[in-house]
Amino acid sequence: MVCTINKCTTKWCSWFSLNKLLFTLFTIVALIIWGAGFNQRLFYEINGLAKYLPGKIWLIISYITYLKHLILPIILLLITFFYKKDKTLKIITLFGLYLVVFFILKKIFAEPRPFIVLPPNSFTWLIGGEDVSGSEFMSFPSGHTGLVAIFIFALNRLFFMQNTFTHKFIRFISFVLLALVAIARVATGWHWPIDVIASGLIGYILVQIVFYNSQSSQD
């Protein structure tokens, strides 16, 4: 399917336009949070949501999305291999690019995590099975959120791009899940709001780079 400049009638064009709009809106939100200094204040607001769910639920979300456990990469690789084998190499490339980009960004920004900056006992911090030592200054960007972002955007790009009710519903649910993971990373005290928003945007960019000019699920 090809999107022309004068006429954009394909379902892919509609999907791409919506993604561009959401990407632009969240970029603006991230810039406002960063520029206006709302990051810490917003952190406390989101972190306060931790009380509405049992700690185990928040930790399960973090466990599933932890790269070290390889749950999401394995799921996406298996689905792609069995149903779109020709795109398997792209998925491997995507995860490799994710590892390199997020590692470099974490080293460059060396952003201190909330438990380094904020007073003890002033917020909820659920450690779970995550590594504290050595990750104190690796808050930006959020690896968990970025991993879920590339998982969801790649999955939607490969299998759920049609303009049907079912595909729209699946995309909606997937975005809700991405938002839940982002909230969880702040609610558990591991990340700042700007970390998770930026990670979602970076994940989207990486998927667009890897799947540039690639056929959609409709083809």
Write the pLDDT tens digit of every residue in 25-69: 888 888 888 888 899 999 999 999 999 999 999 999 999 999 888
For residues 157-195, one letter each, b for 16 or more C-beta atoms within 10 angstroms of the residue's C-beta and e for the rest, the string is: bbbbbbeeeebeebbeebeeebeebbbbbbbbbbbbbbb
Give residue-wise pLDDT tens across range 188-204.
999 999 999 999 999 99
pLDDT at 9 over 90: no
What is residue 22's predicted lDDT score, i.e. its pLDDT?
76
pLDDT tens for 10-28 read: 555 555 566 777 788 888 8
User: What domain range includes position 98?
Assistant: 16-210
Which residue has better confidence, 24 or 150?
A: 150
Does residue 7 carry a pLDDT above 70? no
Question: Within a domain: residue 9?
Answer: no
Give the model's pLDDT for residue 16. Answer: 57
pLDDT averaged over every residue in the chain: 89
Total structural domains within the chain: 1
Residue range 84-90: average pLDDT?
96
The verdict on residue 136 lying in a domain is yes
The band of 216, judged by pLDDT with boundaries at 50, 70 and 90, is low
- Domain assignment present for residue 215? The answer is no
11 closest CA partner among 119, 205, 157: 157
Does residue 4 lie within any of the structural domains? no
pLDDT of residue 215: 57
> Which residues are CB-neighbours of 107 under 8 A, at least 6 positions away?
none
Q: Per the domain annotation, does 217 fall within a domain?
A: no
124 pLDDT exceeds 80?
yes
